[in-house]
Structure 1
């Protein structure tokens, strides 16, 4: 086996291919949060944020959970790839006690094959003043809906 040399054509191709592989997970659409994936959440955090007041997610069942992050902010915790979490759509107000958020797949690729929690944080609109709040989470790509209660 010949040693790797930068001066060869094969060496240059290997370096360029390596750079594309490394940057594949680093690119994404503009958007808030640590992922830059076009999310419509106010912010996106890896894991569970400090001050979380809600149920702990079960990483293995994949069911999202909702909870309070502050007096006026709530989060939806989803499970999936740590580098390509679900992408949150705009918050839709359904009534004075209910909202709906649609989630889609990450535009990023390749993705890591791990399982991590990601929290998508929203400001609760002033029009939603009755508690508990029903949060409907819709996964567009899987045609799956969850109805969750935010106490």
Structure 2
């Protein structure tokens, strides 16, 4: 029986050089969260008796921020995937539904907090939202 050949450090180094670009490529393609924060419920100080048909947009509690509250399954709330400034007074935020898992059949609010781009600090600000690529509601928020 022969002993296995020893692994040379140069071989490990070459393997690392081959694997590292693949890891970097995969991590670069991973989606970064668009919202700064996401939590169940309504923004502080907001009360609503029944779910709304469209997202609720308010000025945020953090400087230069807004909140967008969506309604849907509490176990599978939509995720914010893109925020695009069309003009200094119009912002479009895109959401996507969660796929591939079982979701509860309840209707609960989820609030997303977004820091506004520097060019979108004007009031009034029109915020348009889309879900799964379909442009939906439009809300104007005043300071």
User: Shorter-normalised TM-score: what interval?
Assistant: 0.5 to 0.7
Counterpart selection for 1:50 from 38, 44, 48: 44
The answer to whether structure 1 residue 129 and structure 2 residue 118 are counterparts is no
Bigger radius of gyration: 2
Relative contact order: is structure 1 or structure 2 higher (C-alpha 8 Å, sep ≥ 6)? 2
Deviation at 1:49, TM superposition (A): 2.8
Secondary structure in 2 matching 1:127: helix
RMSD, aligned α-carbons: 2.3
Whole-Å Cα distance in 1 between the matches of residues 103 and 78 of structure 2? 12
Please say if 1:79 is aligned against 2:71.
yes
2:85 pairs with 1:93:
yes
Point out where structure 2 has 5 or more consecutive residues left out of the alignment. Answer: 1-30
Structure with a larger share of its residues in helix: 2
Taking the aligned partners of 1:57 and 1:98, their CA distance within structure 2 comes to: 29
Calculate the TM-score normalised by the size of structure 1: 0.65
SS at match of 2:111: strand
The 4+ residue runs of structure 1 with deviation greater than 4 A are: none
Measure, in 1, the Cα distance between the counterparts of 2:57 and 2:49. 9
TM-aligned CA deviation for residue 109 of structure 1: 1.2
* Structure 1 gap segments, 5+ residues each: 1-36
Aligned partners of 1:38 and 1:87 also within 8 Å = no
SS in 1 for 2:118: coil
Task: Decide whether the 8 Å contact of 1:51 with 1:69 is kept in 2.
Answer: no
Kindly tell me the number of residue pairs found equivalent between the two proteins.
111
